[in-house]
């Protein structure tokens, strides 16, 4: 029987000893959010094909991922479609995640991209959709102090809304947003400025 | 006042809830979708993906194919009687002089050698491999834990769904290790060739080192010199040309071009180059990576310049899941491999 190919490493890299833990403030996708995280043991079980474990992952992440999808897409039905695709992708590609500590952030990134793909496929994505119309998303979020802000976000045009959600809520950088949306860094900054100005006016009114 | 409004807005955005519950339980739909595409299921539970019609045609013509198939199947090793069952490889003709739709089973030690107009589809429980024309490939080893092909020359297109490091393709100088992916690999007898990854990741192993090639990236294989640093196919022409030249010259001028033309994605190339560069060059590369925003806060430059192993490994793992991970490319296509990948996305390039 042939031996394993030479130099195949099976152990994940260990964190450096003398540097700070960059996972809390680096280029990870979710530095501003603090939702539940999936533990290493659960990740290992999912990577081994354990469906029961994946159901637990679903329970842990569904609220976090639905929030991302809903804020980007505005429409609950579209957000549900994106969420289903997201979880199937996470299930299929979980074995490729090398560092269990990165699993939650990676999952959020999958959810973000899935929602953006769906957003880009919408007929009105390239149109300058009018501001001020109340989106279906607004009625579907929980009430309370946040509802007016969620409603205001939902009224933003698609690109501005996506940039604002990615930058100010999810913590992405403009360079990353540019890559995700196919726009320049400068355009991303301009959309963010316009989105913030719209929100300020909305909240004052 | 204006600044106050701005600060208040940002505070309120940060205070938005992390989670929103969907209006209904979505798990049943997700579970159904998982069952339809059980890619993460244990390998032995997977079923060969073949349509009913294709199976019938294949079964009816199997005997004829064995006699007429234009490929050369050389049995170099006898089966061991009583050996435990192992995953099965089947092969059918896609194009060529033999009747199409034929099916036969391969054993470890079998060699597939295609003529200039032949194309084969080899299928196993962890995926599919198209053997392109003028290719010679050996099925070297098959077990539950490891499946090994030896690509002596030519080109294959592989779509593998398995835990990382189960499917391996040896070439004359480099070993391609599947990390859950879809890719095209071409090579000549001297080990010159090219890897292009369409989904997931491939690791190239050469002389105690691994090169990581993610979806959307290509890597040249330069004979005994091993792989060149991979780069994303959508990098700027200037960057790619400089990277190609640098692989042969290690010229500081080419590195400068790369540093000035790099996007955050190009940290993939720069990280690989850094491992073989001088300490001074690594310092310049680190500064560029910092400028591009891909180095996490708190990461120590000296660790990178001196190649402290744990720090280098840590940064590699971090970049693999941030700057090098491109979700828009990572998941590839779900189309039928035999129809969507009939021709290379880009011409196979032999680098000498």
Range with the poorest average pLDDT among A63-72, A165-174, B214-223:
A165-174
pLDDT single digits (tens) B298-327: 889 999 999 988 888 888 888 887 888 887
Portion of chain A with pLDDT greater than 70, in percent: 72
Name which of B293, B295, B317, B292 is nearest B305 in CA terms: B295
Which helix (H) or strand (E) segment is B27 a member of?
A: helix B27-36
pLDDT(B47) > 70: no
Interface touch B13/A169, C-beta < 8 Å: yes
Structure tokens at B342: 């009939």
| φ, ψ of residue B169 in degrees (nearest 5) | -120, 115
Give the confidence band of A51 by pLDDT, cuts at 50, 70, 90.
confident
For residues A13 and B247, the model is more confident at B247
pLDDT(A29) > 60: no
pLDDT(B205) > 70: yes
CB nearest to B165's CB, from A10, A70, A83: A10
Average pLDDT over residues B107-129: 89
Q: What CA–CA distance (Å, rounded) separates A83 from A78?
A: 9
pLDDT(A99) > 60: yes
For chain B, give the mean pLDDT: 78
Range with the poorest average pLDDT among A138-152, B250-264, B279-293:
A138-152
CB nearest to A109's CB, from B140, B141, B325: B325
Interface touch B6/A12, C-beta < 8 Å: no
pLDDT(A201) > 70: yes
Interface touch A89/B331, C-beta < 8 Å: yes
Interface touch B165/A34, C-beta < 8 Å: no
pLDDT(B335) > 50: yes
Q: What CA–CA distance (Å, rounded) separates A174 from A131?
A: 23
**What is the number of H-type helices and E-type strands within chain B?**
11, 14
For residues B38 and A179, the model is more confident at A179
Q: Supply the ipTM of this predicted assembly.
A: 0.75
Interface touch A179/B264, C-beta < 8 Å: yes
Interface touch B298/A25, C-beta < 8 Å: yes
| Centroid of chain to Cα A60 | 15
| φ, ψ of residue B339 in degrees (nearest 5) | -105, -35
| φ, ψ of residue B301 in degrees (nearest 5) | -60, -40
- The architecture of the domain spanning A35-122 is Orthogonal Bundle (1.10)
Q: What sign results for the dihedral spanned by CA atoms B48, B52, B57, B62?
A: positive
Q: Which of A1, A4, A5, A73 to mutate to test the interface with B (most CBs of B within 10 A)?
A: A5
- Rg from Cα positions in chain A: 19
Tell me how far apart the 2 most distant CA atoms of chain A are, in Å. 75
Q: What CA–CA distance (Å, rounded) separates B349 from B187?
A: 9
Which helix (H) or strand (E) segment is B197 a member of?
A: strand B192-206
The answer to whether B121 contacts chain A (CB < 8 Å) is no
Which helix (H) or strand (E) segment is A5 a member of?
A: none
B-chain CB neighbours of A33 within 8 Å are: 18
Which helix (H) or strand (E) segment is B198 a member of?
A: strand B192-206
Range with the poorest average pLDDT among A155-164, B58-67, B260-269, B271-280:
B58-67
| φ, ψ of residue B60 in degrees (nearest 5) | -70, -25
Give the confidence band of A175 by pLDDT, cuts at 50, 70, 90.
confident
A128-205 adopts what CATH topology?
Arc Repressor Mutant, subunit A (1.10.10)
Contact B14, B96 (CB under 8 A): no
Structure tokens at A146: 């946040």
DSSP assignment of B296-352? PTT--HHHHHTT-HHHHHHHHHHHHTTTT--HHHHT---S-HHHHTSS-SS------
pLDDT(B243) > 90: yes
Interface touch B180/A89, C-beta < 8 Å: no
Nearest Cα of chain A lies from the Cα of B214 at a distance, in angstroms, of 11
Contact A181, A163 (CB under 8 A): yes
Average pLDDT over residues B193-212: 90
Portion of chain B with pLDDT greater than 90, in percent: 40
The answer to whether B335 contacts chain A (CB < 8 Å) is no
The answer to whether B18 contacts chain A (CB < 8 Å) is yes
For chain A, give the mean pLDDT: 74
Give the confidence band of B242 by pLDDT, cuts at 50, 70, 90.
very high
Give the confidence band of B237 by pLDDT, cuts at 50, 70, 90.
very high
Q: Which of B16, B161, B162 to mutate to test the interface with A (most CBs of A within 10 A)?
A: B16
Domain ranges of chain A: 35-122, 128-205
Interface touch A96/B310, C-beta < 8 Å: no
Query: Is B187 in a helix, a strand, or coil?
Result: strand
> Which residues, other chains included, contact B343 with Cβ-Cβ below 8 Å and sequence gap of 6+?
none
Interface touch A200/B6, C-beta < 8 Å: yes
Residue B96: its pLDDT value, please? 76
Specify whether the backbone of B169 is left (phi greater than 0), alpha (psi in -120 to 50) or beta: beta
pTM: 0.56
Q: Which residues of A4-38 are buried (b: 16+ CB within 10 A; e: fewer)?
A: ebeeeeeebbebbeebeebbeebbbbbbebebebb
Give the confidence band of B97 by pLDDT, cuts at 50, 70, 90.
low
pLDDT(A178) > 50: yes
Which runs of consecutive H residues, i.e. helices, occur in B78-215? none
Interface touch A25/B210, C-beta < 8 Å: no
pLDDT(B9) > 60: yes
| φ, ψ of residue A102 in degrees (nearest 5) | -90, 0
Name which of A148, A143, A65, A63 is nearest A108 in CA terms: A65
The pairing of beta strand B110-113 with beta strand B72-75: antiparallel
Contact B123, B98 (CB under 8 A): no
Nearest Cα of chain B lies from the Cα of A60 at a distance, in angstroms, of 10
CB proximity under 8 Å: B 246-275 to A: 263-265
């Amino acid at each position: 029987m042939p031996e394993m190919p030479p130099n195949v490493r099976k152990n994940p890299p260990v964190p450096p000893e003398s540097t700070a833990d960059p996972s809390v403030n680096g280029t990870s996708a979710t530095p501003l959010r603090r939702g539940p995280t999936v533990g290493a043991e659960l990740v290992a079980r999912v990577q081994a094909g354990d469906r029961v474990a994946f159901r637990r992952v679903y329970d842990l992440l569904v609220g976090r991922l639905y929030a991302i999808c809903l804020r980007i897409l505005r429409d609950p039905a579209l957000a549900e479609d994106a969420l289903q695709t997201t979880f199937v992708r996470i299930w299929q590609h979980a074995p490729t995640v090398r560092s269990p500590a990165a699993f939650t952030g990676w999952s959020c990134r999958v959810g973000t991209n899935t929602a953006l793909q769906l957003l880009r496929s919408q007929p009105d994505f390239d149109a300058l959709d009018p501001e001020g119309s109340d989106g279906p998303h607004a009625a579907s979020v929980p009430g309370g102090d946040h509802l007016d802000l969620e409603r205001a976000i939902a009224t933003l045009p698609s690109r501005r809304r996506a940039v604002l959600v990615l930058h100010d809520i999810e913590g992405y950088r403009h360079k990353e947003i540019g890559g995700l949306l196919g726009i320049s860094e400068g355009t991303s900054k301009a959309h963010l400025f316009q989105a913030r100005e719209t929100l300020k006016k909305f909240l004052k009114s | 006042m204006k600044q106050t409004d701005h600060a208040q807005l940002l505070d309120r955005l940060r205070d938005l809830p992390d989670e929103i519950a969907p209006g209904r339980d979505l798990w049943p739909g997700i579970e159904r979708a998982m069952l339809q595409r059980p890619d993460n299921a244990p390998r032995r539970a997977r079923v060969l993906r073949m349509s009913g019609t294709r199976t019938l045609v294949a079964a009816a013509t199997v005997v004829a194919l064995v006699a007429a198939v234009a490929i050369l199947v050389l049995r170099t090793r006898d089966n061991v009687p009583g050996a435990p069952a192992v995953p099965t490889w089947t092969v059918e003709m896609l194009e060529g002089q033999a009747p199409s739709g034929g099916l036969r089973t391969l054993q470890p030690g079998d060699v597939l050698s295609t003529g200039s107009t032949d194309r084969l589809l080899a299928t196993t429980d962890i995926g599919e491999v198209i053997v392109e024309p003028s290719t010679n490939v050996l099925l070297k080893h098959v077990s539950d834990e490891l499946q090994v092909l030896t690509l002596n020359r030519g080109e294959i297109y592989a779509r593998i769904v398995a835990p990382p490091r189960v499917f391996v393709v040896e070439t004359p100088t480099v070993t391609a290790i599947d990390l859950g992916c879809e890719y095209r690999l071409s090579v000549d007898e001297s080990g010159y060739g090219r890897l292009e990854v369409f989904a997931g990741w491939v690791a190239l192993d050469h002389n105690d080192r691994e090169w990581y090639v993610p979806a959307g990236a290509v890597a040249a294989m330069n004979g005994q010199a091993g792989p060149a640093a991979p780069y994303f196919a959508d990098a700027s022409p200037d960057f790619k040309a400089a990277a190609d030249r640098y692989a042969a010259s290690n010229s500081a001028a080419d590195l400068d071009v790369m540093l000035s033309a790099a996007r955050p994605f190009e940290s993939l190339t720069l990280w690989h180059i850094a491992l073989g560069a001088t300490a001074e060059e690594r310092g310049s590369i680190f500064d560029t990576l910092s400028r591009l925003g891909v180095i996490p806060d708190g990461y120590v430059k000296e660790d990178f310049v001196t190649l402290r192993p744990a720090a280098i490994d840590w940064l590699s793992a971090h970049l693999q899941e941030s700057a090098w991970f491109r979700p828009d490319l990572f998941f590839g296509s779900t189309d039928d491999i035999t129809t969507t990948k009939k021709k290379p996305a880009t011409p196979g390039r032999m680098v000498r």
